[in-house]
Amino acid sequence: MVKNELYERLETDSSISALHTLSVELPDPVIVLGGWAVHLTVNRGYQRDHGLSYLGSRDVDLGFHIPEGSGLDDLRNGNFFKSIQIIKRLGYWEKGTSRFCRIIKRGSGETLDEKQAAMYPQYDLFYLFIDPLVDHPHPLIREISKIKVLDEPLLKMAISNDKMKKVDIGGREILVPSPDMLLMMKLSSFPNRTKDDKRLKDLCDIFSLIWYSEADMQEVLGTAREYSREKISMIKDQMTNDLLNKASYHLGVGMEEIESIIKRL
């Protein structure tokens, strides 16, 4: 079977290009979460079986460790605040309550400001989002970021349990959570998804983290079962033939294989 991209090439190419730039510009350590973390984790195994790169992502999710007890001066001198300033310098601006955005014109790939974007219909535009996530909530974060930064508790678990892995991206070393931690993050997000494409991407990522990550499958499954039993039960209840069929189409993997892996959770 042949893989069929889930998102438009412009979207994923723009997103991975942004990630490459961020990996160079941001201070160490650069922590990547979400779809690109999965891609960097499973791509080698997926390419070995299919001869193609694994599915890309439209958004860039960045993780940040906030030291316990940090005061306002500590935060202003820390990795998170410095990174936010760089993100703004690179042309991203606050969008909504918790994200940064850059607007790209389809066809040309040109970056537009808000005034320029207003001249085009929405279907001519692509919004590239950067989502910063911290490992635990901090009451002073809003004062230095001007957005409501979301927290990812499993990132704190990954950092405190030495479950972060070094990976190379364009010659730069960055950090991503280990396959079992990424799987738990995906298991946690899937039941709460309201958009079909997000739920579909989560299913593709769940299967691929188990099958292509090159980590010990039983260890990955064991960790997921230990910490995510309730989420796993919800996912199995929400699984449909339509969703499995779509995942099969985009992964280039038999529907029965995907269903078999989900049943093993």
State the Cα–Cα distance between residues 112 and 120, nearest whole angstrom.
10
- Is the CB of residue 238 less than 8 Å from the CB of residue 203? no
| Beta strand pairing call for 31-33 and 93-95 | unpaired
Per-residue pLDDT of 21-74, as tens digits, reads 999 999 999 999 999 999 999 999 999 999 999 999 999 999 999 998 889 999
pLDDT in tens, 245-257: 999 999 999 999 9
Q: Is the dihedral of CA 79, 85, 90, 91 positive or negative?
A: positive
| Rounded Cα–Cα distance for residues 177 and 183 (Å) | 9
Residue with tokens 């001066």: 73
Mean of the per-residue pLDDT values of the chain: 92
What is the spatial distance between Cα 234 and Cα 202, in angstroms, rounded to a whole number? Answer: 14
Return phi, psi of residue 263, to 5°.
-70, -25
Sequence-distant (6+) residues with CB within 8 A of 25 are 86, 90
Q: Under DSSP, is residue 195 helix (H, G, I), strand (E, B) or coil?
A: coil
The model's pTM is 0.94
For position 210, what pLDDT does the model report?
A: 96
The answer to whether 45 and 190 are in contact (CB under 8 A) is: no
Give 135-170 pLDDT, tens digit per residue. 998 888 888 888 889 999 999 999 999 999 999 998
